[in-house]
Structure 1
Amino acid sequence: MIPLAELPTPTLLVDLDRLERNIASMAGAFAAAGVGLRPHIKTSKCWEVARRQLDAGAIGFTCSTAVEVAWLQSRGVTDLLWAHVPIGPRKVAFVVDSIARHGGGLTVSLDSVEAARPLSVAAEAAGVTVPFVLEVDTGHGRLGVEPSAAIATAAGIAALPGLRLRGVLTHEGHISALAERSDLERAGAAAGTLLVSIAEDLRAAEFAVEVVSVGSTPGATSAPFVPGVTEGRPGTYVYFDGNQIRLGSCTLDQCAQTVLARVASVRRAGRPIIDAGVKAMSSDTIAVAGGVGLVLDRPGVTFPEANEEHGFLHEGDADPLAVGDLVRLVPNHACGTTNMWSHLYAVRGDMAVERWEISARY
């Protein structure tokens, strides 16, 4: 064990007590509702976190990248959903090879016949069948077929050889734009309801629909619990972050991920400079208004701006910081911050108890 004061700065920390409470709370809510929990691995990219999620009852994982898929498969996790349209020869070949080597277990997301056709050609040539879910746009405006075109698109894709429809998927990311938590909850439930209705329409058209999958941490208290939804895919909940505080998904004392930094200069009164900037925190544009992150355990101190390797705090009426003082910073977006680091320290109280590797980074 290492005292935090002896760690290099900046460095990434995860509070084990908070992490374990977050995992247990989400797992318990999903289990009580009879809904499968398929966490998004992009938040942690860390096997020690993933193992705790599996031990708590996760049915598998959601992945963003081929690297995440391959890494989890190497760890023996086979029930994976790649929530990404596999476009281009490398991604197509990866999917087909993965199905051939692992005997299934990987499901991909598709939203058009044009995207599906190359995958179909490769799957047929290899003699494999690729399971897929139809991605539906329930309001986010990113990937996903319009609800009115869902049946026709599903029919067009399912008619291609080498592909098998398993169900439908959505990412209700648009609800994060809502300022009031009550509005967010209603929008999350509406997204889940819309997806369930599309699943029912597909079943009425004689398509087999076993998966009805929603996914986001802001929507994790609403969309997954619409009757007919089979699984939810929250990710950020393991750590939470500044954005989730803003959205009412958590409170500051639930945030498990922090960046440990030291004060490097106090030459400018009220404006301490720390040794952590956007390369430690990420400069994710999904950010708490007016700041790079939140300062933990320093009431009144804010973190309004940063360069690559330096951060600029504002003390306001708080007690002044001194050169060498430690501060712990809660990132705006945990997922983007994780991807900046190759390892983290798991901590209990003021002691680092283990060093964990972060894998499957770009």
Structure 2
Amino acid sequence: MTALDELPTPALLIDRDRMEANLAAMSAAIAAAGVALRPHFKTSKCLAVARRQLAHGAIGFTCATPAEVELLQEAGVEDVLWAHQPVGPAKVAFAVQALGRGGLTIALDSVEVAEPLSRAAASAGVRVPFVLEVDTGLHRAGVDPDRAVATAAALIALPGLELRGVLTHEGHLAAHGSDRAGLEAAGDLAGRTLVQVAEALRADGHDCPLVSVGSTPGATSAPFAAGVTEARPGTYVYYDANQVGLGSARVEQCAQTVLARVTSTQRAGTAIIDAGIKAMSSDTLATAGILGIVCDASGTPLDGLEFKAGNEEHGYLTGPGTADLRVGDLLRIIPNHACGTTNMWSALFFVDGDRAVERHPIEARY
């Protein structure tokens, strides 16, 4: 064990009790919806955390990158969903290799993406289980619902491709900000829209056992649409300032913090800390509008302090609360976006109270 005051700063901390409570609560909520839980691995990129999610009932994981897929397969996870388009020779070659290990499903949304994968898989003698990604409002990847049946038929006609179901990411719910009622309604609509697509595919003669929704803000709505079979929240394992702003979590549920020290108080109204944008997520899409929530060394938010800007190794705290800060003061910052923050770090510390009790690697980073 190491006292937090003895750790070099900045450092990435995970409050183990808060994390365990988050895992248990989400597991219970998704079970109440009667669907399976397939968390997104990108939030932690840490096998120690993934093992705790499996212990809380996760059936497998969702991945964004080949490195995440490879890490989980090597760790023995037998049910992995790659929810990103495998475009380009390197990703196609990796997909074929990973499919050969078994237990992998790939998200597709067009013939243009699927054809190179189909050719490579057929040449290697492997099958390609896939889910059709459907756009339910985010307008990123995914086929429009009214084109889903035709697109699925075209994909199934390609050699080696086997339809497992449909998938959506209701990331557009974040646009509702603090309007929780509007967010819940949009999540319900996303779930029902995806179910309607699944029903249309079945009416066209296709098996569609998997109906998969996925987001932390939508976890209280989309999975409860009748006909959804699984949910893929990610951020819930830690939560963050963004989720607090969306009403998906309370500050006291946020398990991830960045430990930092005040390094300069030269100018009135400003204090500098040793955690800049290389220690935080600078995700401009985060509705929190800040780099993080400033807390004291125990994790309790401090009044009169804002963290809106940073350089690479310097964070700028502003506001009347800076008058109470001194060089050397220890602070903890709840990041605006947990997933983006994770990718900045090579290791994390599990924390119990005021002590770091375990150090674990963060892997599969860019």
Q: Please give the TM-score of this superposition, normalised by the length of structure 2.
A: 0.96
Residue 249 of structure 1 pairs with residue 253 of structure 2: no
Aligned residue number for residue 310 of structure 2: 306
Within 2, Cα distance between the matches of 1:128 and 1:317?
Answer: 61
Work out which of the residue numbers 113, 134, 137 in structure 1 matches 2:135: 137
How much has 1:291 moved relative to structure 2?
A: 2.1
Give the length in aligned residue pairs.
360
For residues 81-104 of structure 1, give each alpha carbon's deviation from its aligned partner in whole angstroms, at most 9, with x where no partner exists: 00011111111111111122x2x2
For 1:116 and 1:331, the matched residues in 2 are separated by: 37
Corresponding position of 2:270? 271
Aligned residue in 2 for 1:239: 238
The 8 Å contact of residues 175 and 188 in structure 1, kept in 2 or not, is answered as yes
User: How far off is 1:331 after superposition?
Assistant: 0.5
In structure 2, give the amino acid aligned to 1:114. E
CA contact (8 A) 1:14 1:345 kept: yes
Alignment-derived partner of residue 347 in structure 1? 351
Q: Do the aligned residues in 1 keep the contact of 2:303 with 2:321 (CA within 8 Å)?
A: no
- Correspondences of 1:114-263 after superposition (within 5 Å): 114-179=112-177, 180-263=179-262
**1:64-143 paired onto structure 2 within 5 Å:** 64-100=64-100, 102=101, 104-143=102-141
Deviations 1:39-74 (A, max 9, x none): 000000001110000000001000000000000001
Q: Give the deviation of 1:175 after TM superposition.
A: 1.0
SS in structure 1 opposite 2:248?
coil
Deviations 1:12-64 (A, max 9, x none): 00000100000000011112322100000000000111000000000100000
Which blocks of at least 5 consecutive residues in structure 1 are unaligned? none
Q: Helix, strand or coil for the counterpart of 1:279?
A: coil
State the secondary structure of the residue aligned to 1:189.
helix
Quote the RMSD (CA, aligned, Å): 1.1
* Structure 2 contact 269–323 (Cα < 8 Å) conserved: no
- Native 8 Å contact 1:343 1:355 kept in 2: yes
> Normalising by structure 1, what TM-score?
0.97
Specify the SS of the correspondent of 1:219: helix
- Name the CA distance, whole Å, in 2 between partners of 1:152 and 1:336: 36
Instruction: Note if contact 1:140-1:173 (Cα within 8 Å) is conserved in structure 2.
Output: yes
Q: What SS does structure 2 have at the residue aligned with 1:269?
A: coil
Q: 1:317 to 1:161 in 2, by over 3 A?
A: closer
**1:9 aligned residue:** 9
Describe the shift of the 1:163–1:287 C-alpha distance in structure 2 as closer, same or farther (beyond 3 A).
same
- 1:31 — aligned with what? 31
Partner of 1:55: 55
Amino acid at match of 1:248: G
Ranges in structure 2 where 5+ consecutive residues have no aligned partner: none
**3-state SS of the aligned residue for 1:272?**
strand
CA distance in 1, matches of 2:91, 2:23: 31
Q: How far apart are the structure 1 equivalents of 2:48 and 2:203?
A: 43
Tell me, in whole angstroms, the C-alpha distance in 2 between the residues paired with 1:168 and 1:290.
Answer: 33
**Structure 2 CA distance, aligned partners of 1:21 and 1:289?**
23
